[in-house]
Structure 1
Amino acid sequence: MKKLLLLLLTSSILTVSCKNEHKDAKEETNEMAKDSLAPVSDEVMESAVIYEVNIRQYSPEGTFNAFTKDIPQLKDLGVKVVWLMPMYPIAMKNRKATGEKSIEDITDTIERKKYLGSYYSISDYSAVNPNFGTMEDFDKLVETAHENGMYVILDWVANHTGWDHAWITEHPEYYTKDKNGEITDPINDATGEPWGWTDVADLNFDNEGLREAMKQEMLFWVKEHNIDGYRADAAHSVPTDFWEDVSADLREVKPVFMLAEAESPKDLFHNAFEMGYNWEGHHIMNEIAQGKKTAKDWDEYMKKIDTTFEDDDYLMNFITNHDENSWAGTVKERMGDASEAMLAMSYTIPGMPLVYSGQEYDMDKRLRFFEKDTIPHQKGKVYPILEKLGKLKNENAALHGAKQAASYETLETSNQEKILAYERKGGGSELIYLANMSDQPVKFTVSIAGDYQDYMANSEFQIEEGQEMEFQPWEYKILTKN
């Protein structure tokens, strides 16, 4: 009997031991799967393309799942960073409707349902918009991105909340007050007048309680949902020392990638952000396309940022994004026939190129901002161009554009006003961008000679010293040499 009991006890111990070993192995496998994507690094960002996804407008469904299924094909475009526009619940109180009207001004209950509000009027920082799906759906999106070699960053709106946020009643001390002691919408510091963002309430970062609460909200998504960083909306409107403090705490958890949305981001980089918006460069691109500025103006701009920014600062380059598309116009509206030359330029200058959802499908409409809309999904002219440019960005060291960016040098031409010419060199590779930045044919010479590869045409291209060339309006070439 004692032998039988001993045998049963031994068998039980072995069974439990095997189960524990199986459990440990499973947990280890899950941890490995979670961490299958290498941590964010400066090296990865040298050759990255960033993709901005507007979940609401990406598909007819407007859901996380509808976008998640398309993530694998973003590899075709060289995408390494996926930036999600705000995917949090949107406040109902003072919700923007149409024109100067808010949702409270709309009496028809059916019409009221059309107005979904601004993504940037957030009622809860630690939840997902139920119109987009569940938290489990969101986690699957992040997991799928990681499995496909892409990092996920969230749009973070620290400057203000929606009027339905719990802090309004629980912590009114977190908010900016007007002269009557009432919580106010954001004020333009330069003029003292409201911006007109009546659907949001301005936060007061002089309050230490707010700072700590905001930090904890940001830590939540990194700790609990394994996201890889943030795009900071209106980063310049929030004190830089807050961003420095929160970035340090985020990096205690894991390496993160931080993008600052600011008109002039030069003071925000250090100890806070890796990348800033190239708003000024973008405006110059628009003006060149519209005949208001010239190639020479671009050369002057590049000289300016070379002395303004530190060597390890870098910028996000774009020809469209959610703000430009909805409020300033489509690529075709703003850039017309210059669109493709500007697109190629955005990939070949130092920095990281952006693709905004719909851009890859030749989207030629302004997406509605407060209502449901849907991007096209028919591949046309732009998709294969983005594929080629994405591959070039990913693989050619002459286009490294982050903290260890390849060199950039303006080339001399016989017509600096109309011909844009620059050379990039890095990692044993050389690349030249040549473009006619005007709406007229131009004959010119350029200070280079040799045998090159016309990358977009996939053909050989030879330039002899002093050779005169003629480019048609907005014609461009990307010349490579290894």
Structure 2
Amino acid sequence: MKKIFSILLLQFLVFSYSFCQTATTSKTKNELINGHPAWISQGNIYEVNVRQYTPEGTLNAFAKHLDRLKKMGVQTIWFMPINPISKVDRKGSLGSYYAVSDYTALNPEFGTIADFKQVVLSIHNKGMKVIIDWVPNHTGADNRWLTEQPDFFVKDSSGKAATAFDWADTKQLNYKNPVLQDSMITAMKFWISNTGIDGFRCDVAWNVPAAFWRKCIPQLKSMKNIFMLAEGDSAYLPESGFDAVYPWHMFKMMEQIAKGERPAFGIDSIKHESDKMYPANTIQMYFTSNHDENSWNHADYGTFPGAVHEPFAVFTQTMANSVPLIYGGQEEPVLRALKFFDKDPMTFDQLKRAAFYKTLLNLRKRNMALAAGASFKKLNVGDDRAVYAFVREKGKQKVLVILNLSNTPQPITIKEKTLWGKPYNVFMGTKEPLTGSEWNIEPWGYVVYEYN
């Protein structure tokens, strides 16, 4: 009997090992693309400013918008910092989200951790993902570590915790302290294990040492197949494990082109620079606005005003090696700078751009040619000082993008015969005959064709 049991046990163990090996291989294959979570490859990010999103300014009030956002095609929700805000040296009436007083608590302004867990669950039940904003470079001026762990901070000439940059409401953390490093990692793990989030957007990631990220990120990714987004454009960030970075140089070029200060082909120099600087699989998060650009630099209502916005938004949604960002309110659109330290709620009663974004988000989701790693080929279809055109391709799927980044009509000719035929115009919803004949595209015009 013991012998039979041993044989059966051995067979079971062999089967289990074989099954686990198969499952692990399948899991790795299905969940990672070019080293990144597969779910972000054709995904998108929608940034949520909880304080300003609703009159209530709570997580539960925001949750009422989830069905609308799901319908629009939003895939990943990015919450701006949800931690409590320091009261010492607080700016404005409510303070900066980026002056954290406690890394493992939730800002009572937004609700409770139980509320957040429920929102995360609702997001997941709708087939969406959620990442949270993390502030590792500095704390608020009354963070509990200032009294509990004073050695966690850089000291000024008087021996007190030093201010981070010129941000008077913050204190600079000292990453030469290994105990701080471990404490920060533990705090990040808390949100993964206790709330089920799918990743982090790391604020001022560019000022935190590479050694920390190389220690931190593998530990976090061993817990879950998370997405790591760095606020920064330094090569050391993707080299240290981040999935995505900010394309600041490209964003500034977009602004200059929109003003007529640079030609459309200025995009090429920035793309060439990025291709040389970053590892080949680096993802860049393209945008026309975010919380900083809106509150401080008038984006997108001032930087890409009126009709100027749409061709640049198409660019951010279709460019190579990218994941696109929509800042909450752009679909309305909210045409003002939101206050940063005080209450200033948005309204969502017109949603004039929702259909526009839905077209782009759904195209990205269904067409592998817009996946982060799909090929990119620049095309010459007109005056390259004004017109920017390219083809994205993967397998048998192909997307042609033509953008008029100028305020004058431009003649267009498709010279590549492989693009002739009757592709699908995604914004018109019809198939159109496309040949080598010339036609005009309106000022700030755009057209996106889908080939299957």
When normalised by structure 2's length, the TM-score is 0.89
Distance in 2, matches of 1:297 and 1:230, equals 32
CA contact (8 A) 1:48 1:78 kept: no
SS of residue matched to 1:375? coil
Shift of 1:363: 1.0
Deviation per CA, 1:226-279, whole angstroms, max 9, x where unpaired?
1111110010110112112111111222221110011x2322113521111122
Distance in 2, matches of 1:231 and 1:330, equals 20
1:311 aligns with 2:280: yes
Partner of 2:441: 471
1:332 aligns with 2:327: no
Partner of 2:78: 83
Equivalent in 62, 69, 73 of residue 68 of structure 2: 73
Partner of 2:181: 211
Partner of 1:157: 135
CA contact (8 A) 2:414 2:435 kept: no
1:165–1:380 CA distance, 2 compared to 1 (3 A): closer
Shift of 1:366: 0.8
Distance in 2, matches of 1:216 and 1:414, equals 54
SS of residue matched to 1:463? coil
Distance in 2, matches of 1:300 and 1:478, equals 23
Partner of 1:353: 324
Deviation per CA, 1:170-190, whole angstroms, max 9, x where unpaired?
22111111222221111xxxx
1:178 aligns with 2:173: no
Structure showing greater Rg: 1
Partner of 2:333: 362
Deviation per CA, 1:432-466, whole angstroms, max 9, x where unpaired?
1111111112224343341222211112333322x
CA contact (8 A) 1:317 1:347 kept: yes
CA contact (8 A) 2:133 2:203 kept: yes
CA contact (8 A) 1:90 1:162 kept: yes
1:242 aligns with 2:205: no
1:291 aligns with 2:269: no
Partner of 2:168: 198
**Equivalent residues in 2 for 1:388-407 (5 A)?**
388-401=359-372, 405-407=373-375
**Equivalent residue pairs, number:** 415
Equivalent in 402, 405, 410 of residue 442 of structure 1: 410
CA contact (8 A) 1:275 1:315 kept: yes
2:303 partner amino acid: R
CA contact (8 A) 1:128 1:135 kept: yes
CA-based RMSD: 1.6
Deviation per CA, 1:26-64, whole angstroms, max 9, x where unpaired?
xxxxxxxxxxxx978632211101111111111000001
Partner of 1:102: none
CA contact (8 A) 1:177 1:183 kept: yes
Partner of 2:346: 375
Distance in 1, matches of 2:250 and 2:357, equals 20
Partner of 1:119: 97
2:333 partner amino acid: D
| Identity among equivalent pairs (%) | 35
Distance in 2, matches of 1:444 and 1:47, equals 29
Deviation per CA, 1:152-182, whole angstroms, max 9, x where unpaired?
1111101100111111122211111122222
2:229 partner amino acid: L
Distance in 2, matches of 1:121 and 1:280, equals 27
Equivalent in 424, 430, 441 of residue 398 of structure 2: 430
**Equivalent residues in 2 for 1:28-67 (5 A)?**
42-67=37-62
Distance in 2, matches of 1:303 and 1:459, equals 35
1:303–1:363 CA distance, 2 compared to 1 (3 A): same
When normalised by structure 1's length, the TM-score is 0.83
Equivalent in 275, 280, 295 of residue 244 of structure 2: 275
CA contact (8 A) 2:132 2:199 kept: yes
Structure 2 spans left out of the alignment, 5+ residues: 1-29
CA contact (8 A) 2:51 2:110 kept: yes
CA contact (8 A) 1:424 1:431 kept: yes
Distance in 1, matches of 2:72 and 2:243, equals 22
